Chains A and B, each alone.
Chain A
Amino acid sequence: MIRAPAEAAGRFLTTGNVFMYRYDAIDRQILKERVAQHRDQIERNLAGELSDDELRPMRLQNGLYIERHAPMLRVAIPYGQLSSAQLRKLAEISRRYDRRYGHFTTRHNLQFNWPKFEQTPDLLEELSTVDMHGIQSSGSCIRNITTDPFAGVAPDEREDPRPYCEIFRQWSTFHPEFTFLPRKFKIAISGSAEDRAIIRAHDLGLEIVKNPEDETGFRVFAGGGMGRAPMIGQIVRDFLPRRHALSYLEALLRVYNRYGRRDNLYKSRIKILVNSLGIREFTRRVEAEWAYLKDGPSTLTDADFDRFARCFTPPPYEILPEDTPSLTEEAEKNGAFAFWLKYNIFPHKIPGYAAVVLPLKAMGKPPGDITDIQMDGLADLAERFSFGELRVGHDQNLVLANVRRSDLFILWKALRPLGLSTPAAGLLPDMICCPGGDYCGLANARSLPLANAIQERFSNPARLRDIGKISLNVSGCVNSCGHHHVANIGILGVDKNAAEWYQVSLGGRQGNRATIGKIIGPAFTPKEIPDVIEALIDVYFENRTASECFIDTLERIGVEPFRARAYRGRDKSKLARIDNREPSNA
């Protein structure tokens, strides 16, 4: 057994300039052993001792897929925190093992699309030198835990979710009982008043809340999820004192592991179990299981929480004035900067600081893609302006969480040559989109060219400003990696009679009022989609009041006028009626 050094507590005092969880000797040893295990499994597979089927779940739990063109390796970025050193390593790996780029997904992952199967042990070993890996980024296990990219800096935060994320990361890593669940299991945690991690659309959502005695705990949601049968999570427990977090999660996972369906891939997520038992019976089973586990050895004390919290010490903020007059002056002189400032800056709880959103949504590029040059450039900028640390959001955007407001103008200028100063966050081109049929073995439609066609149609800044805040997401198949269900306008690629069709849904939302959008009718051809979106925007323009966003108008006047306009002048008999409940692919 490896022992942490005696002066272990000292490790938590942040040295250098990285303010995130730091691996110790034990974490490193475990990771090293994991890489060796993967190498051994790949060698045995190549030697014919371990069949492809036997290797499959294990390679997936290291993030290794076999995809349409080549293997794909999904690197985990636990709860979205990334250091400059790690980002530089990712850039280097993209040069050595891939085609000089990576792809950020909606779940705090970066994917490499072109590694060679035999080289993956070397790639993982290289990653481990910066404490990174692909552990549980895929497979029927507890996946990488996700949270708010503004964790630790958001003004509406009740408590920083990252220490809890780390507690759950350790608990879920190689869990001996939950490595072969019926299906994947995704956990998201939110620590703020407004949910920015879509916890209600996860298998398990945890909202940090305080009870009347000011104790910290969790509101527990279960059974949410997107995919074929999208559902909003239901409350299993309104207040779970934080000391019981691990025993309660263990009980809940055990109920899922024992009773979740394993006979049908499409009915094996926890949402199906919650729905078939009903939330009351599901809750009863969890609580009954918990009664045996409660107060066991995994109970966390306040001292344990404090120890984890110290891993996330705030960076040494300067005392700065709230106002930054120079910023207003620059914005007055420079329209493009003013535009960026209006949309890409998120408020910060420390006066004089801001969080900056960097959408990876360049025109003509797959949303979420980042080149090695951008990675290296951003790593430098993070060191210069944001304590050497970045965040990854579920919207395929990056965040510099701790920038002095007085640095915003220089930062913006430095982002421009990297192509990272546009588009505006939260406006129409800031779409979420899966890799689709160009890369993914599951997809039945090519979501990327469609997303690009939409971005091209809506590229005029004045018009985008006029349209305002709107979410438009695209998925290439019902697995809905592009989060189309929770978008104001959701677009889903489907395959019918060997042709690509796109189904449009309206009214989806993220956040505290997370809602699954409703399909408006028969699917369109890819060519029609930009016109359909145009029609939807027209209805919004004609009906909005001065203060309304797209979704507000839609909620007030209902879907009908939008639906009517989308199909006006179209022959519905030439469109495709799709039943998403029919499995159309593996």
Chain B
Amino acid sequence: MPEIIKNGQIVDDAWQVLRLKTDQPPESIELPPDAALFPVSVWKTRKPELLARLETTGVWLASHETPEDIAEDIAKFRIIGIDFPKFSDGRGYSSARLLRERFRFKGEIRAIGDVLRDQLFLMKRCGIDAYAIRPGKDVHAALAGLRGFSETYQGDVDQPRPLFLRRYA
């Protein structure tokens, strides 16, 4: 079973990520029976079927998509994925913060795609709590990426109060 980092530990994880090929229509694609993260387009076109199996259904946001695109459904999910097509595409950081801070999403937010050790600390601060490290990279070594800095200047999802409020308390 593939290993991912979740809540600061390495765990076995069976969730698949369903990615559509460019010519695959979301309306007619065959839904895998096991636990899977679906593209927003599949969620939107196949909602009745997926609502019937919510325990094994998650959704993932592409980097051009935003939490607003699934606003009314967010609370339904146990798990939402955020795709990083390239590790240097920073839109997912904003999506994660919005999910946590604006939509008060309490479930798992999982980074998928080009997820690398050196970005984990930033991702964590934005509210991402599970990381499917890119295949071919050492997931155990990547754990070190969560331990970056002992203090941070600005507020974030974990610690909303900026350092200047805490420093002289």
- A residues sitting closer than 8 Å to B (CB atoms) are 1-2, 4, 8-9, 24, 26, 29-30, 33-34, 37, 41, 49-50, 54, 57-58, 140, 167, 170-182, 246, 254, 257-258, 262, 292, 296-298, 300, 304, 307-308
Which residues of the other chain, B, contact A178 by a CB distance below 8 angstroms?
A: 90, 93
Let me know if A140 and B88 touch, CB within 8 A.
yes
A34 to B155, CA, bound (A): 19
8 A Cβ contacts from B130-169 to A: 138, 141, 148-156, 160-165, 167-168
* Closest CB in chain B relative to A158 CB, distance in Å: 23
Which residues of the other chain, A, contact B121 by a CB distance below 8 angstroms?
A: 176
Q: B87 — nearest CB in chain A belongs to which residue?
A: A54
Q: A293 — nearest CB in chain B belongs to which residue?
A: B101
Let me know if A171 and B154 touch, CB within 8 A.
yes
The listed residue (A8, A175, A262) touching B168 by CB distance below 8 A is A8
* Closest CB in chain B relative to A40 CB, distance in Å: 8
A-B pairs with beta carbons under 8 Å apart, 14 shown:
A26-B151, A34-B149, A49-B141, A140-B88, A140-B90, A174-B153, A176-B121, A176-B125, A177-B93, A246-B154, A258-B66, A296-B160, A297-B162, A308-B164
* Closest CB in chain B relative to A491 CB, distance in Å: 34
Q: How many residues of B sit at the interface, in one of the four size bands? A: 35 or more
Which residues of the other chain, B, contact A170 by a CB distance below 8 angstroms?
A: 153-154, 162-164
Which residues of the other chain, A, contact B167 by a CB distance below 8 angstroms?
A: 4, 8, 24, 26
Which residues of the other chain, A, contact B154 by a CB distance below 8 angstroms?
A: 170-173, 175-176, 246, 298
Interface membership of B5, Cβ < 8 A: no
Interface membership of B104, Cβ < 8 A: no
Which residues of the other chain, B, contact A257 by a CB distance below 8 angstroms?
A: 90-91, 93-94
Which residues of the other chain, A, contact B125 by a CB distance below 8 angstroms?
A: 176
Which residues of the other chain, B, contact A304 by a CB distance below 8 angstroms?
A: 164-165
A140 to B87, CA, bound (A): 13
Let me know if B122 and A176 touch, CB within 8 A.
yes
Given contacts A4-B168, A37-B148, A180-B119, 9 further A-B contacts (CB under 8 A): A9-B168, A24-B167, A29-B151, A33-B148, A50-B118, A170-B164, A174-B149, A182-B90, A257-B94
A176 to B125, CA, bound (A): 6
Which residues of the other chain, A, contact B126 by a CB distance below 8 angstroms?
A: 176-177
A292 to B168, CA, bound (A): 27
Q: Mark B94-119, 1 if CB is under 8 A from A, else 0.
A: 10010000100000000000001011
Let me know if B93 and A180 touch, CB within 8 A.
yes
Interface membership of B55, Cβ < 8 A: no
State the 9 A-B residue pairs at the shortest beta-carbon distance, nearest first. A180-B90, A176-B125, A170-B153, A176-B122, A177-B93, A297-B160, A33-B149, A297-B161, A8-B168
Interface membership of B73, Cβ < 8 A: no
Most buried by A among B116, B150, B160: B150
Let me know if B94 and A258 touch, CB within 8 A.
yes
Interface membership of B89, Cβ < 8 A: yes
Let me know if A2 and B168 touch, CB within 8 A.
no
A258 to B91, CA, bound (A): 5
Which residues of the other chain, B, contact A307 by a CB distance below 8 angstroms?
A: 164, 168
Q: B138 — nearest CB in chain A belongs to which residue?
A: A49
* Closest CB in chain B relative to A373 CB, distance in Å: 37
Let me know if B150 and A292 touch, CB within 8 A.
no
The listed residue (B97, B152, B164) touching A167 by CB distance below 8 A is B164
Q: A11 — nearest CB in chain B belongs to which residue?
A: B168
Most buried by A among B116, B156, B161, B163: B163
Which residues of the other chain, A, contact B155 by a CB distance below 8 angstroms?
A: 296-298
Which residues of the other chain, B, contact A34 by a CB distance below 8 angstroms?
A: 149
Let me know if A173 and B162 touch, CB within 8 A.
no
Q: B90 — nearest CB in chain A belongs to which residue?
A: A180
Let me know if A54 and B118 touch, CB within 8 A.
yes
Which residues of the other chain, A, contact B119 by a CB distance below 8 angstroms?
A: 180
Let me know if B152 and A174 touch, CB within 8 A.
yes
The listed residue (B97, B118, B161, B162) touching A177 by CB distance below 8 A is B97
* Closest CB in chain B relative to A228 CB, distance in Å: 21
Q: B101 — nearest CB in chain A belongs to which residue?
A: A292
Let me know if B151 and A1 touch, CB within 8 A.
yes
Let me know if A173 and B93 touch, CB within 8 A.
no
Let me know if A171 and B162 touch, CB within 8 A.
yes
Known interface pairs A170-B164, A258-B94, A304-B164; A180-B88 also in contact (CB < 8 Å): yes
A473 to B161, CA, bound (A): 44
Which residues of the other chain, B, contact A177 by a CB distance below 8 angstroms?
A: 90, 93-94, 97, 122, 126
Which residues of the other chain, A, contact B116 by a CB distance below 8 angstroms?
A: 54
A57 to B122, CA, bound (A): 14
* Closest CB in chain A relative to B125 CB, distance in Å: 4
A167 to B162, CA, bound (A): 11
Let me know if B156 and A180 touch, CB within 8 A.
no
Most buried by B among A2, A26, A176, A262: A176
Q: A140 — nearest CB in chain B belongs to which residue?
A: B88
Which residues of the other chain, A, contact B141 by a CB distance below 8 angstroms?
A: 49
* Closest CB in chain B relative to A277 CB, distance in Å: 16
Which residues of the other chain, B, contact A33 by a CB distance below 8 angstroms?
A: 148-150
